Amino acid sequence: MTEKHLLIVAHAPSDNTRRLVEAVLEGARHPEVSGVNVSWKPPLEAQPDDVLKADAIILGTTENLGYMSGALKDFFDRCYYPVLEQKQGLPCALYIRAGLDGTGTRRAVQSIVTGLRWEWVQEPVVFKGDWQEDFVAQAQELGLTMAAGLEAGIF
């Protein structure tokens, strides 16, 4: 069996958003999941080749003025056409750290992902309002779910 690659492209400009990325990584690297290589790239560092090597992707962003982070938008701007034809059907998931409700951010990311023809494996996770410690467990669950599903061949 060949190893699968789970790519996490997540913007983490604060201590709490960094905790979310670390929690997703921890969940995805759960000891009971094998055969899945997990890597995190900040959006400004992620390249089309990273996406082309991925078997699944988790996107993470802050809600900035009711939109995705500029860093994630930059990632999409640079990677959209180079991956469009080759990565249709790429399993993906999204989490949003939202001070408000995340609606505009969600809509914007979903619009781009629809254009890429990537496949949602679950509804986006929106961490709304003031920081809650439960966000960490939810982020771990997202990472674990994606890695385990990839390992099992569900997506």
Give yes or no for a contact between 51 and 91, defined as CB atoms under 8 angstroms apart: no
57 pLDDT more than 90: yes
Encode pLDDT of 82-131 as tens digits. Answer: 999 999 999 999 999 998 899 999 999 999 999 999 999 999 999 999 99
pLDDT value of residue 77: 98
- How far is 127 from 77, CA to CA, in rounded Å? 25
- The candidate with the shortest Cα–Cα distance to 81, out of 118, 42, 48, 41, is 48
Encode pLDDT of 15-26 as tens digits. Answer: 999 999 999 999
pLDDT value of residue 65: 92
pLDDT value of residue 1: 59
Taking all residues of the chain, what is their mean pLDDT, rounded to a whole number? 97
- The mean pLDDT value for 56-64 works out to 97
Q: What is this structure's pTM?
A: 0.97
pLDDT value of residue 100: 87
Encode pLDDT of 67-76 as tens digits. Answer: 999 999 999 9
